[in-house]
Structure 1
Amino acid sequence: MFKLSAVLAPQRPEESLLALKDKIAYFKDVGLEGIEPSIPDPWRIDIKALRDMVDEYGLKVSAISTGLGYVWHGWSLSSGSEEVRKKAIEAIKKHIENAQELGAPVIIGLIRGYGEEPLEACMSRFKESLRECIAHAEDHGITLLIEPINRYETRLLNKVDDVIKLIKEMGSDKLRLMVDTYHMNIEERNIGVALMRSRKYLAYVHVADNNRLAPGYGHVDFKSIMGILKEMGYDSFLSLEILPFPDFRRAIRDGAIYLRMLMKLLSNKSS
């Protein structure tokens, strides 16, 4: 069955992930198997110390999130500024090297950029950047995960089919699809059908309800989604990327409890 993880992100640029040890311990306490560190600057983190801290609690780094590089630093793989684009490429390359130490894939989400006009030229720049990142990932044996993100946050690669088309074009087994139930709820006409189409490419799943809160706090049909994932043979991580409501600990706890309940129902159904 699935493994559970959650995003752990600093709340301000000067905050270190290494100062969040109590939250990592809490992940273990509520039964998570993984942690997804959100790393805004890959040059300013002690990867060995992070690995040791995660190992201390018997957890696994499920993936490395890179979006804060765009949110806080403005790095964009599709930027019309060559300086900005090159900085984003170098950041992803450094994330890949860090990922080799952690044994984790690297997510390419918001760091692709918003999508400047003209959009065709913007996508061309993104593909050029991505090819360079893929070559580095192949050299280091690391998988890159491309996430479809809703139209309100980016104009590039909003739907599952957009990313599948890109993966086919790039032609590398180190480029895979990840999905996020929050974005899918906005962009996909039928989440289940989109998931079935992703079978050959899917390697990672973000879970959040339609309001970006913990699963069970909104209207997304997680029982159906998880049933389809199970039928597809997906057995990797479901990673909680959620708002900290009513607070961080309760959000993580409630999300984990809800997903575990559904996993138990699915397990009982198949036995």
Structure 2
Amino acid sequence: MSVSISEEAPEQAPFVYKGDIITHIKKASEIGYEAVELHIRHPENIDADAVRHACDTYKVEVSSIGTGLGYGMDRLSLSDSNPAVRRQAVERLKGHISLASKWNCLVIIGLMKGQIKDCGSREEYEKNVMEALQECVDYAESRQVLIVLEAINRYESDVLNTLQETTAFIREFDTDYLKLHIDTFHMNMEENSIPASMLEVRDYIGHVHAADNNRLYPGNGFFDFKTFLDTLKVIDYQGDIALECTGLPRPDEAALKARSYLYSIL
């Protein structure tokens, strides 16, 4: 199980820990997490060796790198109508992939996949994203890094909202290095039957985010985590479950109670 950390995220961003990465790697270890998910804005500013040393010291792994701050704070996306912005987005993601190769973890592309409103039409969206994402996939393949593409709810994204829609888009790429990223918060709004949807795309699921329906920690809302976890067992999911939720009421409390709750029903 993995817990989210970000060094420079806005106050409202749904990450459990915010602030110094090394400090929070230590906290995650003390609570009992086996891994951390690092949400990074500028990969070139990260001391990869220092993070690796901290993980080795505190006996945790980096499960995944989140890239959404590149869109949320810098408005970089793979769909932007401006080729210069798309180029910046690709180069930013390549930086994340290079970092991931040093930590042996995967890279999440969520908000940085962009939206139709960033370019004007569904046709232009697909053209822009397929071209830009293919370059990222080729780079990831050369470094043996898995990319996962996230299905995001309609209130945050105007495209690729459901597991089926996102998986159909992923199928357009002939690669084992692009998989589906699922998130309980988004699925709660988009899927008619979460277990049935998961079973339909079972071969493509590469990473999982957990948050309750209100984006608080799991167990602090009404999402059916027992059925969700049972479905992960049925499909033999072997990856991490990363806690991506708000750190309310307090980060340590959210991290501790989420871990305790999820392990109690695993």
TM-score band, normalised by the shorter chain? over 0.9
Task: Please say if residues 148 and 180 of structure 2, whose CA atoms lie closer than 8 Å, have aligned partners that are also in contact.
Answer: yes
1:1-271 equivalences in 2 (<5 Å): 4-12=1-9, 19-116=20-117, 117-263=120-266
Please, what TM-score do these two structures have when normalized by structure 1? Answer: 0.91
Residue 97 of structure 1: CA displacement? 0.8
Identity of aligned residues (%): 36
Tell me: CA distance 1:175–1:12, structure 2 relative to 1, closer, same or farther (3 Å): closer
Match of 1:269 in 2: none
Q: Which runs of 5+ in 1 are unaligned?
A: 264-271
Give me the whole-angstrom Cα distance separating, in 2, the residues matched to 1:198 and 1:249: 34
Give me the whole-angstrom Cα distance separating, in 1, the residues matched to 2:179 and 2:21: 30
Give me the whole-angstrom Cα distance separating, in 1, the residues matched to 2:136 and 2:237: 26
CA offsets, 1:4-62, max 9 Å, x none? 1011012458xxx8833332112112211100000101111111111111221110110
Match of 1:268 in 2: none
Give me the whole-angstrom Cα distance separating, in 1, the residues matched to 2:52 and 2:4: 15
Give me the whole-angstrom Cα distance separating, in 2, the residues matched to 1:38 and 1:25: 16
How many residue pairs end up in the alignment?
257
Please, what TM-score do these two structures have when normalized by structure 2? Answer: 0.93
CA offsets, 1:149-208, max 9 Å, x none? 011111121110112111211111100111000000011111111111121111110000
Give me the whole-angstrom Cα distance separating, in 2, the residues matched to 1:90 and 1:179: 25
CA offsets, 1:125-147, max 9 Å, x none? 01111111011011111110011
CA offsets, 1:62-100, max 9 Å, x none? 011000111111111111111111000001111111111
Deviates more, 1:109-118 or 1:91-100: 109-118
Structure 1 runs, 4 residues or longer, greater than 6 Å off: none
Deviates more, 1:207-216 or 1:115-124: 115-124
Q: Which runs of 5+ in 2 are unaligned?
A: 11-17
